[in-house]
Amino acid sequence: MPSRPAIDVVVPVYEHYDLTSSCLEHLARQSVEHSVIVVDDGSRDGSPERLRREWPGVRMLQLESNGGYTRAVNHGVRAGVAEYVVLLNNDVQPRPDCLERLIAPMQHDERVGSVAALMLAPGERGAIDSFGVSADVTLAGFARMQGRQPAGIGAAGPALTGPEGTTGAYRRAAWEQVGGFDETISAYMEILDLALRLRSAGWSTAQAPDAIGVHLGSVTYGHRSPTQRRLAGFSRGYLLRRYGVLRRRAAARALLTEALVVAGDAIVCHDLEALRGRLQGWRAAQGRERHPWPPEAAIDHSISLRESLALRRGALRDS
């Protein structure tokens, strides 16, 4: 009986078949054996039929309705059995050795529960799109090293909290221990929440600078759309309460930051979706058990208030 691949690659998709096909073409060139699980989250553009017809070797799970990124990913991970799980957005083009390089830190150290890949922006001289995610003292998360040039990054840089959402690897045992994604969050900041819970559970994280892919950029929720801003606001309000941020020394900074972000969003977009989302998220966390505060090594204390506001603006521009 042939052995099962050690890697399950879970690709959540919602329409945009061209992106999915490109991603699968790049996965087909990988240097290490793996299985691919595509989770179609209620597409209505014919993507499921084309996937079955054109990619018969890929396992496809079709959800009846669009329930959000976290539900789709959890569904895909539960369907697999491999020791390592790689989450891959369909708008990523991984280099041929990306998977092999990405799981290597977990193979060499059993304490490593997750690994961040190096994602580049499109173009011959693409800057870094993300190299994992970092969190400031208010537990706001940011794409790590975004905008920097990849040459000479080495092991230095901002504190690594965990992988970014575009491409990241997880030890299945670590994923299952903390329960995977919190499906109360349908999208945005779910990857940060998972990273924080993994670190609180005692798992370390690592970066793989030679596990490289190109992130083309997602179009799922639309650039600065009301839905995107409301969902992001929901996640922020939810996590502020789940982690008890407003009960800690950083409470004043967190409140000031959120007030400035919400006010700026209202001025630019002429609505209160960012505020509405935060209030909905705060209410959704009511009565939930508070998550433990993550270890200090998971937080980048060097990110100042001014820098965090600048990073927020950059994230909003690119969303």
- For the chain, the farthest-separated pair of C-alpha atoms sits apart, in whole angstroms, at 63
| Residues 273, 157 share a domain | no
Q: Are residues 26 and 95 in the same domain?
A: yes
Q: What gap in Å lies between CA 25 and CA 58, rounded to an integer? A: 11
Mark whether 149 and 245 lie in a shared domain: no
Cross-strand bridge partners of residue 128: 120
Same structural domain, 106 and 234:
no
Determine contact, residues 75/63, Cβ cutoff 8 Å: yes
Query: pLDDT (tens digit, 9 = 90+) per residue, 72-118?
Result: 999 999 999 999 999 999 999 999 999 999 999 999 999 999 999 99
Domain count, the chain: 2
Instruction: Enter the tokens of residue 65.
Output: 């309705």
Note whether residue 160 is domain-resident. yes
> pLDDT tens, 179-218?
999 999 998 999 999 999 999 999 999 999 999 999 998 5
User: In the prediction, which pLDDT does 319 show?
Assistant: 46
- Same domain (yes/no): 108, 200: yes
* CATH code assigned at 181: 3.90.550.10
Say whether both 15 and 132 belong to one domain.
Answer: yes
Cβ-proximal residues to 297 (8 Å cutoff; 6+ apart), any chain: 159, 199
In whole angstroms, what is the distance from residue 258 CA to residue 309 CA?
10
- Of 191, 215, 239, the residue at which a domain comes to its end is 215
Summarised one tens digit per residue, pLDDT across range 136-175 is 999 999 999 998 888 867 656 789 999 999 999 999 999 9
